[in-house]
Amino acid sequence: MGKKKIKNNFEEDLSRLEKISNLLESKEIGLDDAILLFEEGIKLSKTCITNLKKAELKISKLKSELSDIALDEDDEFVED
């Protein structure tokens, strides 16, 4: 369950960032609101970057494990 919640949070954060970007680009908001939205966007960006780095690390570990298994199988195959 925890993994799905992280994914949902990432997707929600990314969606919110897109909305913030659209609002800031629309120029239909005042300076104070723009600053608050920009601040929220920065926080969301940091969270998204952290989650992406965690995902990248996990993928690297999984690829490494797969390579280790493939090497072990090749070693056994050669010995036969």
- The pLDDT tens digits for 5-16 are 656 689 999 999
pLDDT in the model for residue 39: 98
pLDDT in the model for residue 23: 96
- Matching CATH number, 2-79, of 3.90.105, 1.10.287, 3.40.630, 1.25.40: 1.10.287
Contacts 24+ apart (CB under 8 A), 9-15: 9/47, 9/51, 10/48, 10/51, 13/44, 13/47, 13/48, 13/51, 14/48
Is a pLDDT exceeding 50 seen at residue 64?
Answer: yes
Query: What are the domain boundaries of the chain?
Result: 2-79
